[in-house]
Amino acid sequence: MSLLTELQERSNNQCELCTSKKDVTIYEVPPISTGGVDGSLLVCETCFSQITNPDTMDANHWRCLNDSMWSEFRAVKVTVWRLLHKLKKEGWPQGLLDMMYLDDEELRFAEATGDHLDESEKIIHKDSNGITLQAGDNVVLIKDLKVKGSSMVAKQGTAVRRISLDPENAKYIEGKVDGQTIVIITDYVKKMADKE
């Protein structure tokens, strides 16, 4: 069964945020480390464009979160939590956030992008050239790195795809090298261009 088919079945072929049945598409919740059904949801064109371009957010559209916040699905709950944090200045989202419950794993997933932080509180991860790194970016190692706790050496030039960021330390990122998830210091990586 395809991802789209599973999500259509789960959502009754409607947006899992506002229940619109018009132009629904798959939205993979960043950082896209899990993907699949557990890390994706179906959203309509309106929700998708406002999530991916926060400057166009219409607070009144998101009153629908009052219902979708009770979803049993992790990807929906995490997305609602992030949207409510982005809308906090409106006032009403705080009441919904106070009622929401996310277990520890869901909360870690929700906080992974730092959307809940004010700009002044955000931890900014930068590569060796000072370029800002985002969750899901691809990087390349600029020197050989001994992996702590193992005999493995991650070689210079190794591509690390779809990194995740440490929410508490701007110098640490995580990524898979030879199938093993390792912590990498940002001083030793260079962001890859999108076409690489």
Q: Coil, strand or helix: which one is 164?
A: strand
Please report where in the chains the tokens 């009052």 appear, as a residue.
Answer: 66
Span between the terminal Cα atoms of the chain, in Å: 31
Q: Is pLDDT of 118 > 70?
A: no
Q: Which residues make Cβ contacts (< 8 Å) with residue 132, sequence separation at least 6?
A: 124, 125, 126
Overall average pLDDT of the 113-140 stretch = 79
Q: What is the model's pLDDT at position 194? A: 65
Q: What is the mean pLDDT of residues 119-126?
A: 71
pLDDT of residue 111: 86
Average pLDDT over residues 35-63: 91
Q: What is the pTM of this model?
A: 0.61
136 touches 34 (CB < 8 A): no
Asked if residue 170 has pLDDT above 80, the reply is: yes
User: How many C-alpha atoms does 106 have within 13 Å on its Cβ side?
Assistant: 17
Percent of the chain at pLDDT above 90? 55
Q: Is 43 exposed, middle or buried (0-12, 13-18, 19+ CB in 10 A)?
A: buried
Q: What are the structural domains of the chain?
A: 3-111 (no CATH), 123-191 (2.30.30.40)
| Mean pLDDT across the chain | 88
